[in-house]
Structure 1
Amino acid sequence: FRTGYLSLTRGDGGQNLIGDEQGVELGLIRTQELLAARRIDGAEQFFSRAYDFGFSKSPEEAMKIWGHDKILSDVVWVIRKFKPDVIITRFPTTGEGGHGHHTASAILAGEAFDLAGDPTKFPEQLQQGVSVWQPKRLLWNTFNFGGNNTTREDQLKIEVGMYNPVLGKSYGEIAAESRSQHKSQGFGVPAQRGESFEYFSTIKGTKPVVDLMDGVDISSKRIGQPALAIAAKDLFNKYRTEDPALTVAGLLNYRKVLSKLPASYWKDQKLKEINNLVEAASGLFMEVTAVSPYAVAGDSLKLTFTVNNRLGLPLKNMVIHFREASQQPTLEAKNKNANIPVAVFISANALPSQPYWLAEGMPNGSFTVSDQLLIGLPQKE
């Protein structure tokens, strides 16, 4: 399943066990630690504009300092943009999380769950390429740690300790590797193996009985084209772990049919997924390297594009686009590198690059980001 992870803050006010950075500098480190964790567990990372100002005694204090409506609008924006069927909070609204920020995150999640589907709430967002969205359910992932057991046997109970033979790891091992990326917090934990259960309490929406996704259509039928559902099933049946390239032709045909459908969120999302699958299944390698880690205004930077057709599949009309320039590489034989040099000129008027959430300052307890399309992103793409 496509999974998102929304962190209201960037952890700016927390501890730092690996250096002396504090405040926004620590937030930069924590941002990259979260992205490193997501590269392992496969989820997508989002942030609000809230600043971690340190320990907060209550959610009321946290939301007053952040600006309640401002951060609520960020949560609604991420929901409308990501369109989750199920939202899971890590902490409850009743304070067992032990931190005002934690409790505030649960409260805001509940409010956003109710508002994201209402076109009269934050209507300005609807002019920025998103539409209203109503998730099916909001769950709280209850816990048992620190002498505080909030799990009950009447809650939805799911076994999560399974072993994945394709990945060669259990999900507990993957989770441990992911958590261990949070080095500034000393979050490294031993890998967990064996049977393990997670519990979920329904906060809003329909109550699941067997699975988190109960009642949610997770098939290709959701796109609205029956032929695609049949094609997807055929691709799945033909897939071979030892030779994924066999599915490339079918994936390209699937993409051709998909691209002809009317514009929609699901069309765009599935096109991204198909493109990623084609790249992975084809064994195609692409990389860009620079001779220097930085460039200054008025200077140029030499880049090298490296392309390797590792499986030797027939490729046609490959074009590399970069800003105003484009190159059509001539690929060498199977598993041979094709290196394409490109010189990029940096305008004399170019502004220094910096994290987007720091560009406009932070007058109060949250960052100023005027560009709605940047809100929620971990960093500028």
Structure 2
Amino acid sequence: MFFFVLFAVVMGAAHYYIWKRVVRDTTRAGRARRVGTGVVLFAYLLVMAALAVSRLGSTLGNAVAWPGFIWLAGAFYLALVLGVLEVPRALLLRSARRHEVPAAVGAPDGAVEAPGAAPPTGEQPVDPGRRLFIARSLAVAGGVATAGVVGYGTTQALGDPVVKRVPVTLGKLDQRLAGYRIAVVSDIHLGPLLGRAHTERIVRMINAQEVDLVAIVGDLVDGTVAELGEAAAPLRDLVSTHGSFFVTGNHEYFSGAEPWLAELERLGVNPLRNERLTIERAGASFDLAGVTDVTGRAHGDGPDYARALDGRDTSTPVVLMAHQPVQVREAAKHGVDLQLSGHTHGGQMFPFHLAIGLQQPMRSGLETIDGTQVYTTNGAGFWGPPVRVGAPPDITVVELRHKFAGR
């Protein structure tokens, strides 16, 4: 409820600003302004309705979610672009004031000022026609820019995920395991906007890579098993040498984690719930471990690193599946060699990229934090608006390398 109220206030302020610049400033009092006001009010209510009913899983919820969430991205970028345009707006209005020369006070229209009269001083009010022209020009520019950004971002979000190949060198890895390939996918976010076809595409793309293991690192769903069980069903068709594994993300706890863990196990996707197992090939091995998401603490299912990692053979490497990159702080204390994470969406829509550092130690890619390597995927889906700007969806194939292997 707190989030919903906060969201309503923020979106209300954004829509008021959009109304001010796109409707009030570009129209004269009358029918056009009333119509424009009604459109902006409807758009605001559509966004709020999309947030409220999208999780219902009904036809109505889906019908409202698509336009509502697309406009959510549109409202965000339109307000952002209009904010940037405040600078040229101020410059244009200032220039217009300087060029407005009033007729002599008391002189009839068209009269010429008497020779020797003092020139007018100070900036003059902008002619209403010129002010209207400036406002309309900037509103059109803002609308075109917003349509371009949101249109591009929609094609990115709804298109095929990019397949990334990331080599990771592990000092303890036996050379017999060199070339071991792990498909990492996260943040699939099955829900009102992404369904079975999305899952089928991801499964098809992963299977085409012929990997040794599949790691699904959380935020698979935004809804219950009853609503989305059919959408998740294609996961049973994942093919790899050593199987498919899953750890919870924060959204699983919003959707009913226990039923989903049971459903995934039924589909042949093995949950790692603060536990580990040994992966063997050609007489060599490494440990694969998984911990639950930090959100699980509020549901009696928080991460237990000691249970998952203590008591193992430390001469072999351990790969940890953990939804949020920030979990590396604790993982490093337990000697984890590589952590596989998601959660950030790579920022999803610029400039949210810049805010990730407030909560997470990294945005995406491969980094070393507190001596532990962390790979964070952008995720294969999206949350909220079906828009990605500057952070295309991806599926990553992590290839483990022996430290003395040729580069």
Q: Identify whether the pair has TM-score above 0.5, normalized to the shorter chain.
A: no
Give the TM-score normalised by structure 1.
Answer: 0.24
- Structure number with bigger Rg: 2
Give the TM-score normalised by structure 2.
Answer: 0.23
More helix by share: 2
* Structure with bigger RCO (C-alpha 8 Å, 6+ apart): 2
